[in-house]
């Protein structure tokens, strides 16, 4: 019985693969360039691209469970639909899909709306599936460390509603646990949706306060400048993606990413340990400065 992991060489996918290997699973990883994959020993790396139907047909042979992760790209939705159709064609019945929290509410944000469409397809096709809905990855804030330490500001426009930021290592472990639960179940399990959240719901001011505490000096939160956020992002990503991220940040301000009652307790029980905190994450990345 083989678990196929897409997005296996990315930020989340690597942790999924590592956690599956630790638990003795038979893991197959899809990669555009297997020679550069650098995954743990024992993982079978196969060449493939989610828009190359022949390559993924080959990759799906003998697979019993799929971990589907699609990068934020212009054709993300198409990639996911092709993967699910080919999975069904290959007889794969078990799926764990990495969606996003509030995918059904952030309806104007392209990558959220696309993920919600994929969720609907998974449900309507009758897959034995878990849909994981993570909040904002706290690890995204690695990219702003130099701004925080150099300019004394926390620049992400996350507002005052609050984001329940989660560490990608927790996402990877929870995904692996769900994949193995479905893979080893004697009978098909019902569809489940799980919000993936961290232990704290952070506003812009609270995030700045965490940095202040860890660094021992005042870090300010300058406010909710989503236009400036888009402008900065356009320096190192395509304009369509920067605009997508701006639309997301605008929903941060109006909706937040707030957990539902019992989410933190459910994940803590699933992991058998506390979720990683934002303060611990900041302490970790600043210690290596």
DSSP 24-81: T-EEEEEES-GGG----TT-EEEE--TT-HHHHHHHHTTEEEEEE---S-TTHHHHHH
Rounded average pLDDT over 240-244: 97
pLDDT at 209: 98
Is residue 106 a contact partner of residue 261, using CB atoms and an 8 Å limit?
A: no
> With a threshold of 0.85, does the pTM exceed it?
yes
Give the pLDDT mean for 144-167: 97
Domain membership flag for residue 91: yes
Helix (H, G, I), strand (E, B) or coil at 114: helix
**Domain assignment of residue 189, yes or no:** yes
Number of domains making up the chain:
1
**Is 243 domain-assigned?**
no
Whole-number Å distance between alpha carbons of 94 and 286: 40
- Average pLDDT, rounded, for the chain: 96
Q: Which residues contact 116 (CB under 8 A, 6 or more apart)?
A: 99, 103, 104, 107
Report pLDDT for 182. 97
Residue 288 has pLDDT above 80, yes or no: no
Q: What is the pLDDT of residue 289?
A: 53
Residue 227 resides in a domain: no
- Residue 142 belongs to a domain: no
Q: Is residue 185 part of a domain?
A: yes
The CATH number linked to 7 is 3.40.50.720
Domain hosting residue 73, numbered range: 2-136+166-198+259-276
| Any domain includes 121 | yes
The answer to the question of residue 282 being in a domain is: no
């Amino acid at each position: 019985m083989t678990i196929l992991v897409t997005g296996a060489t990315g930020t989340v996918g690597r942790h999924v693969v590592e956690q599956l290997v630790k638990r003795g699973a038979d893991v197959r990883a899809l990669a555009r360039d297997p020679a550069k994959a650098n995954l743990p020993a024992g993982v079978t790396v196969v060449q493939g691209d989610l828009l190359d139907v022949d390559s993924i047909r080959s990759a799906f042979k003998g697979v019993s469970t799929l971990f589907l992760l699609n990068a934020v790209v212009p054709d993300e939705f198409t990639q996911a639909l092709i993967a699910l159709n080919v999975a069904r064609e290959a007889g794969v019945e078990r799926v764990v899909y990495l969606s996003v929290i509030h995918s059904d509410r952030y309806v104007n944000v392209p990558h959220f709306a696309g993920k919600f469409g994929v969720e609907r397809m998974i449900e309507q096709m009758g897959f034995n599936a878990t849909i994981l809905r993570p909040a904002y990855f706290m690890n995204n804030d690695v990219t702003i460390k130099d701004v925080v330490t150099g300019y004394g500001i926390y620049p992400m426009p996350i507002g005052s509603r609050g984001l329940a930021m989660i560490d990608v290592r927790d996402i990877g472990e929870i995904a692996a646990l769900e994949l193995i639960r479905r893979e080893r179940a004697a009978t098909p399990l019902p569809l489940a949706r799980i919000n993936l959240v961290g232990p704290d719901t952070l506003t812009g001011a609270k995030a700045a306060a965490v940095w202040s505490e860890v660094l021992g000096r005042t870090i300010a939160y300058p406010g909710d400048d989503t236009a400036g956020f888009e402008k900065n992002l356009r320096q190192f990503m395509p304009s369509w993606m920067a605009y997508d991220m701006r639309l997301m940040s605008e929903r941060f301000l109006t909706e937040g990413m707030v957990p539902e009652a019992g989410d933190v307790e459910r994940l803590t029980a699933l992991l058998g340990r506390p979720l990683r905190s934002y303060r611990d994450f900041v302490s970790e990345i600043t210690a290596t400065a």
